[in-house]
Amino acid sequence: MKVLLQRVSEASVTVAGQQVAHIGPGLVALVGVAEGDTDKDARYLVDKSVNLRIFSDDAGRFNLSLLDVRGELLAVSQFTLLADTSKGRRPSFIEAARPEEAETLFNSFLKMAKAAGITVASGLFQQHMLVEIHNDGPVTILLDSRP
């Protein structure tokens, strides 16, 4: 399982012309579920995401987490994070979980994030989305539950 975190001043998701999610300061988590991922992978990445110290303290150092700053989280399912581009010119997504499995694990990720005590919004699974991200910094960090 992979999560691409982006620290944002705000972000939103629009589907078919309707805004379905919006957050203020916090993190956007683009979530890719791989074949064989489990709740253990989701739990690890949620814990890492909400506790990663990538927000600045008064001295301008990365010392604060999403929990510390009481930020919000916008999670968006994104199977393309599992792209294998090692051969040819067309990415292969063979490592991505089947949609039914990915949706279940993505929903587990959302529930675990909410249980951490933060405000959580999400895009719509398997929908064409317009994601507007105001990357703050910019700060973008890739997390992977596999070594």
**Residue-wise DSSP of 20-51:** EEEESSEEEEEEEPBTT--HHHHHHHHHHHHH
Full-model pTM? 0.96
DSSP state at residue 96: B
CA dist., res. 82 & res. 91, Å (int): 9
Which of 19, 38, 80, 127 is flagged as catalytic?
Answer: 80
Q: pLDDT tens digits for 18-34?
A: 999 999 999 999 999 99
Q: Which domain holds residue 21?
A: 2-144
For residue 72, what are its two tokens?
């919000």
CA dist., res. 18 & res. 46, Å (int): 28
Number of domains in the chain: 1
Residue 84: φ, ψ to 5°: -105, 115
DSSP state at residue 79: G
Which of 79, 85, 106, 140 is flagged as catalytic?
Answer: 79
Give me the CATH number covering residue 89: 3.50.80.10
127 is catalytic: no
Q: pLDDT tens digits for 126-147?
A: 999 999 999 999 999 999 999 8
38 is catalytic: no
85 is catalytic: no
Which of 6, 38, 62, 78 is flagged as catalytic?
Answer: 78
Q: Report the Cα 127 to chain-centroid distance in Å.
A: 16
